[in-house]
Amino acid sequence: MALGQYQQRRLFCTDKPSKPRKIKDENSSMKYWEQENSSPVVSGDGKDYYSLYQSSYEEHLSHIDAAGKASMVDVQEKSDTKRSAKACATVIVGNHVFNLIRENEIKKGDVLTVAQVAGIMGAKKTAELIPLCHPLALSKVDVSCQLKGEDSVYIECEAKCVNKTGVEMEALTGASIAALTVYDMCKAANKAIEITGIKLLEKNGGKSGLYKAEPKSDSTK
């Protein structure tokens, strides 16, 4: 065989067999991510981050069942306790719309009052909007909408109940719906309105107890 032909042949040959492709076994009891990561992945610092991730996943994501599918949490064994949560949102409406809201000159009406009522209604409808939320008998929903700075509306929603599960989602939903209502009321005057800063400010009650978000410097508050 000529040297050139031998070298050309070497380009397309290998002494090592190709690694067989791993096939997911649909009948296996292992979760799909376990099949793909059956051996531990150890980083350069010696930590097995896959095992840490898996432990965190199974411990903290309570809306996932043993098969890795979405599931509503069974709370019947929990005790009823006082629950409360507060969330916020900021709507950056711009200086022009800010002045229109302040002077109550938005054509649809009183923006802050309508947004307040919408936020209360939204909090009470949370279980109908968020698939795995439990329906709760809320004892209180308080929504405040205030003009802040020169171009923003700041919204806070507080929800309370006595139940087996928390009201974080009710507070977040109330703040979000109020913010969306501000946009709807004012969109004819400014399409570039921005909704931002939707977050949980604090919650209390239940096994995890009190949580408070770390304060951040914000010109809108």
Domains of the chain, each with CATH number or no CATH: 29-58 (no CATH), 81-206 (3.30.70.640)
One pLDDT digit (tens) per residue for the chain, 221 residues? 555 554 555 444 445 444 444 444 444 444 444 444 444 444 455 555 445 444 444 455 555 556 666 666 655 666 778 999 999 999 999 999 999 999 999 999 999 999 999 999 999 999 999 888 888 889 999 999 999 999 999 999 999 999 888 899 999 999 999 999 999 999 999 999 999 999 999 999 888 889 999 877 554 44
Question: Which spans in the chain are helix H?
Answer: 3-11, 32-36, 49-60, 95-102, 111-124, 126-129, 168-186
Give the global pTM.
Answer: 0.67
Active-site residue, 25 included:
no
Q: What is the pLDDT of residue 47?
A: 52
Q: What is the pLDDT of residue 71?
A: 60
146: part of which helix (H) or strand (E)?
Answer: strand 140-148
Q: Nearest Cα to 57, choosing from 33, 25, 29, 73?
A: 33
Q: What is the pLDDT of residue 135?
A: 85
- How many Cβ atoms are within 10 Å of 161's Cβ, its own excluded? 22
Catalytic residue among 25, 48, 65, 184: 184
Q: Residue 152 burial (CB < 10 Å; 0-12/13-18/19+)?
A: buried
Q: What is the pLDDT of residue 74?
A: 59
Q: What is the pLDDT of residue 65?
A: 58
Q: What is the pLDDT of residue 56?
A: 42
User: Which letter does DSSP use for residue 12 in this model?
Assistant: T
Rounded Cα–Cα distance for residues 41 and 79 (Å): 40
Centroid of chain to Cα 27? 32
Q: What is the pLDDT of residue 166?
A: 86
The one-letter amino acid at 196 = T
Q: Are 115 and 123 in contact (CB under 8 A)?
A: no
